[in-house]
Amino acid sequence: MKLAALAEHYDVSLSWLTPKAITDFLETNTSGEVQLPLALALRKGADRMTSKKYRTLSLFSGAMGLDLGIEGTGRFELLACVEKEPAFCATIRRNRDASRLPKDLRVYEGDICDISPEQIMKECGLKPGELDLLVGGPPC
């Protein structure tokens, strides 16, 4: 089975594979068929890539461009966002309610200086050290 066909068969992405990972696991016969070690490596790699979702908070969220890109990878769990512009917050809520963003996304509307980080962490069920990614696009 060719590499791309194997990935499709196991429903995994090849994007995480490095040349070294391929070299380490690729064993082919004269027909170029991929043998079991690579199939197992693909499955293990896919499990590793999907087993943990990184807990993420967004600051200066705007129209959620950064957040949508991060969310689209399938590797991040967007918990909350902070945005002060009412029109942007309305758009975020509309997108959340239309299932384009996580249903349980918390939207904090207000100036970041006036919002308590402790409140956000508590409401998101996070303890110190449990947040994996803080993303933001502060204005220039």
Position 138 confidence tier, pLDDT thresholds 50, 70, 90 = confident
pLDDT tens-digit readout, 90-100: 999 998 999 88
Higher pLDDT, 25 or 19: 19
Indicate the domain borders of the chain: 3-51, 54-136
Which residue in 89, 113, 124, 140 is the catalytic one?
140
| pTM, to two decimals | 0.63
Contacts of residues 69-75 at CB distance under 8 Å and 24 or more positions apart, as own/partner, are 70/133, 70/135, 71/101, 71/102, 74/50, 75/49, 75/50
Range scoring the smallest mean pLDDT among 17-21, 50-54, 80-84, 116-120? 17-21
Tokens for 123, please give them: 């409401």
Which helix (H) or strand (E) covers residue 120, if one does? helix 117-123
Handedness of CA 97, 62, 67, 115 (dihedral sign): negative
124 in active site:
no
Indicate the fold that domain 54-136 takes in CATH: Rossmann fold (3.40.50)
